[in-house]
Amino acid sequence: MKKNFNEISKNLNTKGFFIIKNFINSSDIDSKFLNHVKKKEKFVDGVVHGLEDKYYTSINTKIKEIAKNLNNKDLNISDKKFCYASIRIKKNIKPKAKLIKPFNIFKDPKVLPGGGLNWHIDHYTYFFHNDHKNYLICYMPILKSSPLYSNVAIVPYDILKKNDINTYKKIKDRGAVRFRKVEKDTKPWFDLRFGEKTKVGSWYALDDYSDDTHGWKMKINLDKIKVVPKLCLNDLLIMKADVIHRTNDTKIDRIAIRCDILPKYSFYEQSLLGFFKICLKYFFETKKAKYNLKRYIKVFLSNKLKQR
């Protein structure tokens, strides 16, 4: 595992992401970890939360090295506050999205099977911290039979800036945004959300944080400008939290460890104190954020009751 931290920093600033090959070893993964992840329920954001510390002790040492060396004037991150979770993708070669009715303008009109996520910038991390400038997301596949499939598709900063400068400026350092194309069966949903007639084939950014806007029409087709890094088992994809991304496909099973490197002065949301801070924060947030935070609070309390 060779690391040039100047090169990593440069790529994070210009493109928003970087790949480190063979970041972890098979010996870093506890033999019981995969079975543990397979049995745990997903949260409403499609992520498996609440992983026990004992499963990623070796990985944590390597993440600390990354965080310590990337903390600089452009990226004010902690080398102690990390949140671990898991992304679980189930094989579905030809997934057919399910139309969700009645339409709710705060929810997606379609849901992909297999755990695949559509174009977005993460929501809950932004609701918790309101800081995606100083926030890194690390993906490490630990179950993946081929580097060709079930990867993460990304829209790099430089490509987005070149093709749609308006969208680039609006999403820089942001979170809680989805990106969708108007389809024939979802057009009524877009018309309802934006209060106007939309056109099939157009792309929209859906702002799920600001109460002043529902979003904006984009100038690009994200599927045509995406970059898909071919991750092998144990590679690391590290990216800024404001990078547009999605699950590229679900052609094979994939389990990845996700580690979030938090802003230096943030609170640790997975602690009990962090949960109380989220509850307090709820009363001062936008209506859209409250809608989603309420779901998080309910699930958190429900899980705590199950553990008793």
* Residue-wise pLDDT tens digits, 126-178: 999 999 999 999 999 999 999 999 999 999 999 999 999 999 999 999 999 99
- Residue of 87, 82, 18 lying closest to 238 (CA atoms): 18
Q: Where are the domains of the chain?
A: 5-268
What does the pLDDT read at residue 126?
97
Q: How many CB atoms lie within 10 A of CB 219?
A: 12
- Residue of 87, 91, 92, 90 lying closest to 37 (CA atoms): 87
Q: Determine which helix (DSSP H) or strand (DSSP E) holds 85, and give its type and residue range.
A: strand 77-89
Topology given in CATH for the domain delimited by 5-268? Jelly Rolls (2.60.120)
Q: Determine which helix (DSSP H) or strand (DSSP E) holds 255, and give its type and residue range.
A: strand 254-263
pLDDT digits (tens, 9 = 90+) for 80-136: 999 998 888 889 887 788 899 999 998 899 987 777 899 999 999 999 999 999 999
Structure tokens at 35: 């079975």
pLDDT digits (tens, 9 = 90+) for 255-289: 999 999 999 999 988 888 999 999 999 999 999 99
CA–CA separation, 103 and 185 (whole Å): 11
